[in-house]
Amino acid sequence: MKVLITGGAGFIGSTIASRCADAGIDVVILDNLVTGRFEFAQRFPFYRGDIADDALLDTIFAEHPDIEATVHCAALIVVGDSVTSPVQYYDNNVSKALMLVSSLLRNGCRRLLFSSSAAVYAADHGGCVDERSIIAPQSPYARSKAHFESMLADIVAATNLSAVSLRYFNPVGTDPELRSGLQSAHPTHALGKLFEAHSTGTPFAVAGTDWPTRDGSGLRDYVHVWDLADAHIRALERFDRITADSTRTTVVNLGSGRGTTVWELVRAFEEVLGHDVVVRTSSRRPGDTAGAYASKTLAAQLLGWVPSRTLEAGIEDTSRWLAVRESRLSWSTFTARNP
């Protein structure tokens, strides 16, 4: 099998690419390198460009006519940025993604695995959500994911495209072999901020202490990114079986099934690293929610997938990656050179 991974030079996309390679699946990567890293993509046939570039997509499929499926990971993902720059998020995550689907249909690629988000849920209570839970996204980022899912459902119903939408919860950790990891020096998610606070000696901010959770801090479901990548392998291998009886997009949650509050995350971090963290509290951030954790039932039924790695393993793996990150990234400007 050969797959196209859009956004394959990013954190999650590159991890999926490595997991595919380990499973004997050939990979082609398309990434514009706005946030992705060439170092993560250089092991594979790589095309630098935009998912909305029709001519480039036609070239990719002409040069790789044996591509059987597309894993669409290319997206803008920072909730706070989406609140201040909604046009950019709707353009990239909805409009350009729709143009990508048009290119896939034109080139006869009828299998699409979409990287969606648990942010689409009405996560206002800190409880468990399954695939039938209420959809009520609270930020432009989350709404862009929900909008694209809705469009996919309509397109699947009217064309020969089949689609599986994997709703990620909160990825942590890295490729166990450290082939790629978090590329940003200033990550925006909680674990990244904890590492940044630890390395700089600055306080870590707990944003919001009045959420309806067991300790008042926000709650998240942290799933190891290698488990997440494994779920993609299972979805690709079972794709036709999963979508055979569906005229709509098949939706599957990918989470650990365990909710962790921010205060609990801090304690886990301190235990794994053996260092205390200075903490301060702050107000809620725009677009934040109380959070939720995943029901794993459908993922087990459809994919045969049960996550095996813990939050603590994710923290330890992230620490290992950060120790080698500077040596793995050249920080040089890449000049586009397609195969």
What positions carry a catalytic annotation? 141
How many Å apart are CA 284 and CA 58, to the nearest integer? 45
Indicate the burial class of 7 (C-beta count within 10 angstroms; 0-12, 13-18, 19 or more): buried
CA-closest candidate to residue 150, choices 101, 105, 88, 78: 101
How many Å apart are CA 292 and CA 22, to the nearest integer? 32
Residue 170's beta-bridge partner residues? Answer: 222
Contact indicator for 18, 179 with CB cutoff of 8 Å: yes
How many Å apart are CA 122 and CA 3, to the nearest integer? 33
Give the phi and the psi of residue 136 in degrees, each rounded to 5.
-155, 70
